[in-house]
Amino acid sequence: MEIRNLKNMTTDELLSVFNRAFSDYIVPFHLSLEQLELKIIADKIDMNLSVGTFESGKLVGFILNAEKKENGKHIAYNGGTGIIPEYRGQGLVRKMYDYIIPTLKEIKTDVLTLEVIEGNNSAIRAYENLGFKIVRKLLCFNGIINLEEKDINISIKEIENLQWEKLQSFWDIQPSWQSSIKVLENIRQSCTILGAYKDEQLKGYVIYNPAVKKVYQIAVDQYSRRQGIGTKLLSTIEKMNGGQAISVNNVDDTSENTSVFLHAAGLKNWVSQFEMKRDI
């Protein structure tokens, strides 16, 4: 076996191995080429920092890594680990991390982070054995928005210039990797960003990607909550997408107000994940 980075790997070559690796996953899924390309772009996957295991020149396992610098920390994110079934149980995840960590140290990485589905106990134990620790639980919602919109004096219009300092003042929790500022800036042209205004003052906002029907962020000013603003924002999304199902992923479970609101909006917490981290 040979372990090396994936800088020369095409998305076409990766696709079949990716789908084989996740075909019997705890939540099985299958991506098209376009969906995998979108994931690589959206998650900021860097093939120079990603690593694969090869048998006779053929890829049999991989770790897809991304990196960013935020709040003074250099963070590397595992956007997907996959081993095809016949090569599991050989410690390949540890071997691939042993290979790539020196490279991550060279670029001054401080923290490794990843998400693992609750109930995937073998993966959780494997990551704990590598030094990762669970830092929080993240809830994933999906479904068709079903809200009774209130008649309130709020106007909804697109936000062209993102003032992140202002938007962050609405937050109760820190977003996970896929909904973080650095990642969203990378795909902002693919997103619809709506603001809720009262007397020309921004009171709430939502960031939505119509291509994948995903809400990345929704937040309301803490002094303007329970007034129908969040309902107005989600109702606008529902009208835009013609009543199709949407997803809202990785909601910190400590944000009880958000969970209650999403349940009331008709969405279901269909799966949960643990965010895990380790210092290097």
Of 114, 116, 146, 138, nearest in space to 246 by CA:
146
Number of H helices, E strands in the chain: 8, 12
Q: How far apart are CA 52 and CA 58, in angstroms?
A: 10
The Cβ of residue 279 has, within 10 Å, a number of other Cβ atoms equal to 10
234, 205 contact by CB (below 8 A): no
pLDDT for position 255: 92
Query: Which of 85, 109, 133 lies at the terminal end of a domain, its last residue?
Result: 109
Report the number of distinct structural domains present in the chain: 2
Question: Which residues make beta-bridge pairs with 246?
Answer: 143
Q: How far apart are CA 181 and CA 247, in angstroms?
A: 19
Checking DSSP bridges between strand 51-55 and strand 58-70, what pairing results, if any?
A: antiparallel
Across the beta sheet with 192-198, the strand order is 2-5, 51-55, 58-70, 73-83, 111-117, 268-279, 133-143, 246-252, 214-220, 201-209, 192-198, 155-158
Question: Which residues make beta-bridge pairs with 5?
Answer: 51
Banded model confidence at residue 71, pLDDT cuts 50, 70, 90: confident
Query: Which of 109, 128, 159 lies at the terminal end of a domain, its last residue?
Result: 109
pLDDT for position 6: 98
Statement: residue 45 has pLDDT above 90? yes
Arithmetic mean of pLDDT, 129-152: 94
Q: How far apart are CA 152 and CA 170, in angstroms?
A: 20
Is 119 domain-assigned?
no
Is 128 domain-assigned?
no
Q: Could you tell me the CATH number of the domain that includes residue 151?
A: 3.40.630.30
Could you report the per-residue pLDDT of 199-210, keeping only the tens digit for each?
Answer: 999 999 999 999
pLDDT for position 138: 98
Across the chain, mean pLDDT equals: 95
pTM of the model: 0.93
Q: How far apart are CA 12 and CA 115, in angstroms?
A: 25
Checking DSSP bridges between strand 201-209 and strand 214-220, what pairing results, if any?
A: antiparallel
Is 264 domain-assigned?
yes
Arithmetic mean of pLDDT, 187-215: 96
275, 132 contact by CB (below 8 A): no
pLDDT for position 26: 84
Is 127 domain-assigned?
no
> What would the two tokens of residue 170 be?
């609405």
Q: In 173-221, which ranges are E strands?
A: 192-198, 201-209, 214-220
Checking DSSP bridges between strand 246-252 and strand 133-143, what pairing results, if any?
A: antiparallel
**Does 206 lie in the same domain as 154?**
yes
Q: How far apart are CA 206 and CA 157, in angstroms?
A: 11
**Does 148 lie in the same domain as 39?**
no
Statement: residue 267 has pLDDT above 80? yes
**Does 266 lie in the same domain as 203?**
yes
Domain that holds residue 58: 2-109
Could you report the per-residue pLDDT of 74-131, keeping only the tens digit for each?
Answer: 999 999 999 999 999 999 999 999 999 999 999 999 999 999 999 999 999 999 999 9
The Cβ of residue 226 has, within 10 Å, a number of other Cβ atoms equal to 10
Taking the mean position of all CA atoms in its chain, how far away is CA 183? 9
Statement: residue 46 has pLDDT above 80? yes
**Does 153 lie in the same domain as 97?**
no
74, 240 contact by CB (below 8 A): no
**Does 145 lie in the same domain as 94?**
no
Arithmetic mean of pLDDT, 129-142: 98
Is 134 domain-assigned?
no
Is 215 domain-assigned?
yes
Arithmetic mean of pLDDT, 246-252: 97
